[in-house]
Chains A and B, each alone.
Chain A
Amino acid sequence: MRSVRRHRLALPAASVLVAALGLAGCSTSSGGSGTAASAAPTHLSGTVSLWHFFTDREADVVQQAVDSFEKANPDVTVDVHSGQDDEKLQKAISAGDNVDVGISYSTDIVGNFCSTGAFLDLTPYLTRDKVDLSQFSDTVRSYTEFKGTRCTMPLLQDVYGLYYNKALLSAAGYSAPPKTLSELEAMADKLTTFNADGSIATLGFNPLQGWYENASSHYGPAAGATWLKDDGTSAIGTDPAWAELIEWQNAYVQKIGYDKLKAFSAASGQEFSADNDFQTGRVAMNLDGEYRTAFIADQAPTLDYGTAPFPTADDHTDLYGGGYVTGNIAGIAKGSKNPELAWALLKYLTTDTDALVALSNGLKNAPTTTAALQSPNLQVSAQFKTFLDIAASPHAATTPASPLGSGYQTAFQDFWTGTQSAPLTDLASGLAGVDKDIDNQLSLVAGP
């Protein structure tokens, strides 16, 4: 009886296991390169889907670019899916949904999407259509490929620099922004005011990590700090630049008082609202992206402000003019039903000067091609121009692509954020721990 029952149970159990294995593997297949025709089609027709993360006003700007593409190709219909973030995009591609072109807000996915083939290798199309990649800066080129596989194209770029309140600086006797971290600290000290109870009323500069755009990735270029070694393992613990930045930041936080800064930051307005501390004058100098110019124009049009490259570490003044650069990227999803049509749309959105200028003017992000950057139609205010210059600087830097996505940045950011509440004790061993953590993650994801 027992053996019979075992057999009765074994069959459905085996079926379930087989089905489960099937489910586990059914949605996957190894990726690969696009199979470009020998010549680009002379006439385009059909439907191509575009997945992007933009919403509301920004989605309208993208739609206008799509409309222009459809106008130029009357027999083409673009099926637009807006509001799709990276996680949804990843799931959709994995599930075999109808994704032809996907746009991501983060370069962090490049390592994963290129290595897994989620985005097709674009080399055959780029070669066939003789797309000149030198129209993109080295930094932009670096964050759109992974280990020699170019599976994405840059759409627009985010560039980070220093915003300063001209009126507040002028009142404190300053006519120019700081160029080194020591200058930043000295000016910020003078611009910081306190309430009668000792709490902070206004800050010259908020050094707390995690506040608004204060992130390790945005600080790194100030000292030329590196993230990963050539083999993909962590370089954080062995690069003295990180220790230098952490030591400066920690000393400054302790000088003002961590608890005071924490209380001040807790009362900050939402970053992307009209209550943003820089826009209200609560903070005189702030690290932020070029997109802030659009928020200020919309929410605080009377604000008298200037922009400049973020100050460098005192012993890295040669790096002044650079800054952190990242951007939106786009690629052709594996399983695309019509890769030629997808490539045509992708090429249009990422290399057509008029399309890029329109997108840049609408989204207030910096364009990526030389022609778009030099276009007379590009709306460039004095403040925005700073970010175009930073993007063009040889000292502009980005975060490298990794199979961990942003995992290595998160590990380091957690460590740095955790060091702020007290003076540093054993920074070297802490950074070594970060290295170990990242390398362990890497071995889990990519194997030993």
Chain B
Amino acid sequence: MTSPQPVLRLGALERGRRRAALAMLSPTLAGLVVFFVLPLLATILLSFTRYNLLSPPQWIGLRNYQYLFTQDPKVWTSAGNTLWFVVVLVPVRVLTAMGVAALLIRVRRGSGFWRTVFYLPALVPPVASVVAFVFLFTPGGGPVNTVLGALGLPQPLWFNDPQLAKPSLVLLGIWVMGDVMVIFLAALLDVPRELYEAAELDGAGPVAKTWYVTLPTIAPVIGFAAITGVIAALQYFTEAAVASTVASGKAGAGSSATDVLGYPDNALLTYAQWLYVRGFGSYQLGYASALAVLLFVVAAAAVTFTLRKVKAFSPEEAMS
């Protein structure tokens, strides 16, 4: 016959451990509640109100959502632009960063120099890099068009052309891809050599080694780059805003920042910018909250989708 005493002691011990864990986690949990849960709940609540930041919110039910889905003239334009950045900018940046990293690990001499060269643009503050980039591509006497002209090639309007404004920002995104590249570089250097040797013994060529060894091994890094990229693209704001301001010729103008967002012809108007314009340019914080809720839902769905896709490409799945 056994005494129940040890069981009780274990239970008490477990409870004590849990309390200790909770106590140690409490600062993080408090931060999570204060800086994530509360603002999220406040945003959801405000999305059902008419609110201008200065008067008490008035409950208006689903009116903001009705307006969002049926009456807002620019929400789908801005959503389309943002989707374009998600679908084009993110894959281009990830693939370019992965490609450059794959090349850099093969460089024998001066690898440190080349790694620095490719990483350096990522250190430039976003506003400065956009200003510099727009001036480089200025149609009137900018260095890029000057060279194109000297070569007898067409001289596009770049950031002033609604068709080329977004692709121009993709070029900028490639130039500053050092932050993603350095992560891929570390991941590629971390792939066990033994796996390549084993693959070679099995007769795998370069393509097969990349497909069956490299990509599955760095899948978590691809997933990280894709998810953070998608989230950043969904919130894309600064680069597009600065490009619009400089390209419109109104840099330094003493007017509201919301006046030139979207230039040219709303080609660079992103969802986050539209949210800001409605919230702080038109004093519609309740409606801006509805836009924010929709963005949150879409971002959560996009991240879930990306996670599933990346998981399907993980080493475990590849092995199965």
Interface of A toward B, CB cutoff 8 Å: 16-17, 19-21, 23-25, 27-31, 53, 85-87, 90-91, 93-94, 105-106, 108, 112-113, 116-118, 210-212, 262-263, 265-273, 334, 403-407, 410-411, 414, 417-418, 437, 440-441, 444-445, 447
Contacts and interface: CB of A to CB of B under 8 A. Distances in A.
A18 to B, nearest CB: 10
A86 B249 contact: no
A31 B257 contact: no
Interface of B: 33, 37-39, 41-42, 45-46, 49-58, 60, 63-64, 67, 71, 73-74, 138-141, 157, 160-161, 246-259, 263, 265-266, 277, 280-284, 287
Nearest to B71: A440
B265 A417 contact: yes
A106 B256 CA distance: 8
A168 to B, nearest CB: 19
Contacts of A17: 41, 45
Contact of B56 (A25, A212, A411, A417): A25
B55 A262 contact: no
B140 A19 contact: no
Nearest to B72: A440
Contacts of B250: 212, 270-272
Nearest to B279: A87
A317 B195 CA distance: 84
A217 to B, nearest CB: 11
A321 B137 CA distance: 41
Contacts of A414: 73-74, 266
B257 A441 contact: no
B67 A31 contact: no
- 4 closest Cβ contacts across the A-B interface? A267-B140, A266-B160, A116-B54, A20-B41
Consensus secondary structure, chain A interface: helix
Contacts of A31: 54-55
Given A116-B54, A334-B54, A444-B67, 11 more contacts: A19-B38, A28-B56, A29-B56, A30-B56, A87-B257, A265-B160, A267-B139, A270-B250, A271-B252, A410-B281, A445-B282
B38 A406 contact: no
Contacts of B277: 410
A405 B266 contact: no
B54 A447 contact: no
B54 A23 contact: no
A23 B254 CA distance: 33
A85 B253 CA distance: 12
Contact of A268 (B49, B50, B140): B140
A440 B53 contact: no
A91 B53 contact: yes
B270 to A, nearest CB: 16
A348 B39 CA distance: 42
Given A21-B45, A112-B283, A447 B50 contact: yes
B4 to A, nearest CB: 22
Contacts of A93: 54
A86 B287 CA distance: 19
A112 B46 contact: no
A94 B138 CA distance: 41
Contacts of A112: 52, 54, 283
A338 B189 CA distance: 65
Nearest to A86: B256
Given A16-B41, A271-B249, A113 B54 contact: yes
A45 B65 CA distance: 51
A447 to B, nearest CB: 7
A404 B258 CA distance: 14
B256 A445 contact: no
A270 B252 contact: yes
Contact of A266 (B46, B50, B140, B266): B140
Nearest to B63: A444
Contacts of B41: 16-17, 20
A29 B161 CA distance: 46
Pick from A17, A21, A24, A31 the residue with the most CB of B within 10 Å. Answer: A24
B51 to A, nearest CB: 8
Nearest to B245: A270
Nearest to B145: A267
A31 B52 CA distance: 13
Contacts of A21: 42, 45
A16 B37 contact: yes
A25 B42 CA distance: 10
A441 B253 CA distance: 27
Nearest to A211: B249
Contacts of A105: 254-255
Contacts of B248: 210
A445 B50 contact: yes
Contact of B284 (A87, A267, A271, A445): A445
Contact of B73 (A86, A87, A411): A411
B115 to A, nearest CB: 36
Contacts of A23: 38-39, 42
Contacts of A212: 249-250
Contacts of B55: 28, 30-31, 116-117
A407 B265 contact: no
Given A16-B41, A417-B265, A406 B256 contact: yes
B290 to A, nearest CB: 10
Nearest to B60: A447
A405 B282 contact: yes
Residue among A91, A266, A267, A441 having the largest count of chain B Cβ atoms under 10 Å: A266
Contacts of B38: 16, 19-20, 23
Query: Looking at B52, B248, B281, which has the most chain A CB atoms within 10 Å of its CB?
Result: B52
Contacts of B67: 440, 444
Contacts of A86: 256
A118 B46 contact: no
A263 B139 contact: yes
Contacts of A447: 50, 58, 60
Nearest to B38: A20
9 contacts: A19-B38, A28-B55, A28-B56, A87-B280, A210-B263, A406-B256, A406-B282, A437-B73, A445-B284
A441 B50 CA distance: 12
Contacts of B54: 28, 31, 90, 93-94, 112-113, 116-118, 334
Contacts of A117: 54-55
Nearest to B160: A266
Given A90-B53, A116-B54, A267-B141, A262 B42 contact: no
Contact of A262 (B53, B160, B283): B160
